[in-house]
Amino acid sequence: MEQNKNKTALTTIGIDHSTNRQIDKLCKRYNLKKGEIVKLAFEYIEKACINPSEPPESVKAELAKINKRQDDLIRFIRHFEEEQLNPMIRATHSIAVRFDSIAKTLETLILSQLEKNQEKYNSVLQKISEQFGKHADAINNQGKQIGSLHQLLKQGNKKLLDLIVLYVELAACGVMDGKRKESLKAEIYKLINPE
């Protein structure tokens, strides 16, 4: 029984002389036997879903079909871009512009307040030095303390300005600047949470 299963039943088919010559040419060209070339041809027809009674159109017609499909895809992509992507980009841009103008307004307001505060601190320091001119040791100690507070204030102000600049850059990043956004966020995090 096992031997009968492994044996292949061979059959013959009738073909005309011109088809036989074509098969012979293909056999010579590809170094195959007639049975192998017929088997491979049928496998090709099956895989390619070709109906032998309806031969494919010319190469130009097939290319025209492919081009039509490509044109349809391009039209779809352009339509999607017009209907979906462009409005999102415009909305994002207008938000970024508004955020940028708000951030710049806040920056100028903060800078003017800092200048006023700086003038107040300077006048207070001058009054203290005039009133306590006789007490040199106390004035020196207080001056050192106020100087360190002044440095802390400067550092805080610089940190605040750096944060504002980073937020402005983050707002100005486009839709596709993902890496730049992440690096800006990391810098902001480092400024807010120093080690």
CA distances for 172 relative to 146, 169, 177, 191, angstroms: 38, 5, 10, 19
pLDDT at 28 over 90: yes
DSSP 84: I
51-105 pLDDT per residue, tens:
777 766 676 777 788 888 888 888 888 888 888 888 888 888 888 888 888 888 8
Per-state percent for the chain, helix, strand, coil, to nearest 5 = 80, 0, 20
Q: Six-digit token pair at 133?
A: 């001119």
Q: Six-digit token pair at 14?
A: 């009738």
